[in-house]
Amino acid sequence: VSTTWHSNEDDVYRAPPIDRSLLPTAPRAAREPNIDRSRLPKSPPYTAFLGNLPYDVTEDSIKDFFRGLNISAVRLPREPTNPERLKGFGYAEFEDIDSLFQALSLNEE
């Protein structure tokens, strides 16, 4: 990959070299989740924000996605002007911190 390009004045610019030691060497699924445990709540409720949800998602489909984890509640807010339409985000509450940690490690799934 070339890191050289030219400007309109034909001056040559060089991008800084890429430090390849910072690039991941394993697929995302094989890496440890990048979650700071110190920022997780120390006591209940253990709630995860669920963003970018399809408008036709159901509580059952959320529970199915998190199957194997101790999920205690799902909240899917609806539009006030149209109660049939979801807002596209929600919340999942878990019974224990380990379930919350595992749920957060599914980010972008």
Inform me whether the pLDDT recorded for 12 exceeds 70.
no
The pLDDT-based confidence of 8 (bands split at 50, 70, 90) is low
**Averaged over 61-88, what is the pLDDT?**
95
The backbone torsions φ and ψ at residue 32, rounded to the nearest 5 degrees and listed phi first, read -65, 135
Q: What mean pLDDT, rounded, does the chain reach?
A: 83
Choices 2.30.40.10, 3.30.420.40, 3.30.70.330, 3.30.1330.10: CATH for 46-108: 3.30.70.330
**Averaged over 76-105, what is the pLDDT?**
95
> What's the pLDDT at 52?
93
Task: Show me where the domains of the chain are located.
Answer: 46-108
**Averaged over 7-20, what is the pLDDT?**
63
Cα–Cα distance measured from residue 42 to residue 44, given in angstroms and rounded to the nearest whole number: 7
Inform me whether the pLDDT recorded for 33 exceeds 70.
no
Q: Is the pTM of this model over 0.85?
A: no
